[in-house]
Amino acid sequence: MLGIERRKLFTPYAELEESDRELIRLHGEFGAAQLRMLPWLKGAADTVASHHEHWDGSGFPAGLRGDTIPLGARLLAVCDAYDEMLNKPSDAPQHFTRDAVIDHLLEQRRRRFDPVVVETFVTMIEALSRGGPVAAPKELAVSVGQLSVGSVLARDLLTTEGMVMLARGTQLREAHIVRLRALRDARAVAEPIYIAP
C-alpha cells in the first residue's frame, strides 16, 4: 500500500481511476515480491499475495476459493479486516466500534472469510476483551481441507443431513480424509469438523 496516495485509500473503490484500482488490486503481489527478496520472510510471500482471496472465490488476484487459499492468507484476511476497520485514522470518513467490526466479520464468514477462522478469532477477541486469558481449546473447529492423518474427532462427524458418519474418538487415516474431501466436494459433509487439539 506504500505506493498509493493516502487520500485514495479512503476513496470509495467505485470512484477511483482504473489505474488506482489496479494498484490496489496488485498491492498483495507487490508485497509478496518484496518478501521473496528477503530469505527470512520468503515463506510469508504466498500469505501476503493471497490475503484478498475470498472464501467464496470472489476475491483477487487469482480467484482462489475455500481451502485452496493458503491458511496463512485466510488468517491474515480476518486480522487485516479487523485491524483496518477498528483502527481508522482520525481523518477517515467512517469509524467502527469493536462490536460493529465483529458483526461484519461474522456476516462475511463463508463469503469473504473462512468461517472456522472467523469463529476462532471472534472467540479469542471476546475472551481477551473480558480481561481473561485465552484458554487452550478442548477442541478445534477445522474444515475438511485442514484435517490431517492422526487427527482425532472430538465430536461425531455428521453429514449435512445430520447422520453420523464417523464417531467421536475416531483417529483419522488417509482413507478417511480422501473420502471426506470427495464428500465435501459433493456438499455432503457438515463443517466445521471438531478435532482434539
pLDDT per position as a tens digit, 122-157: 988 888 887 766 666 678 888 888 888 999 999 899
124 & 147 share domain: no
105 & 162 share domain: no
Q: Residue 187 carries which side chain, given as an amino acid letter?
A: R
41 & 115 share domain: yes
115 & 146 share domain: no
CATH of the domain at 59: 1.10.3210.10
For the stretch 153-177, pLDDT in tens is 998 998 888 888 999 899 999 999 9
Q: Is the pLDDT of residue 51 over 90?
A: yes
pLDDT at 134: 61
- Decide which of 193 and 129 is more confident: 193
**pTM across the whole model:** 0.68
Cβ proximity of 72 and 115 under 8 Å:
no
pLDDT at 12: 77
- On whether residue 37 sits in a domain, the answer given is yes
- On whether residue 174 sits in a domain, the answer given is yes
19 pLDDT band (50/70/90 cuts)?
confident
Cβ proximity of 23 and 2 under 8 Å:
no
CATH of the domain at 178: 3.90.105
**Mean pLDDT within 21-48:** 89
Q: CA angle, corner 129, sides to 124 and 135, nearest 5?
A: 40
Q: Is the pLDDT of residue 70 over 70?
A: yes
Residue 166 belongs to domain spanning? 140-195
Which sign, positive or negative, has the C-alpha torsion 149, 116, 145, 134? negative
pLDDT at 6: 76
pLDDT at 130: 78
Domain closes at, from 77, 108, 129: 129
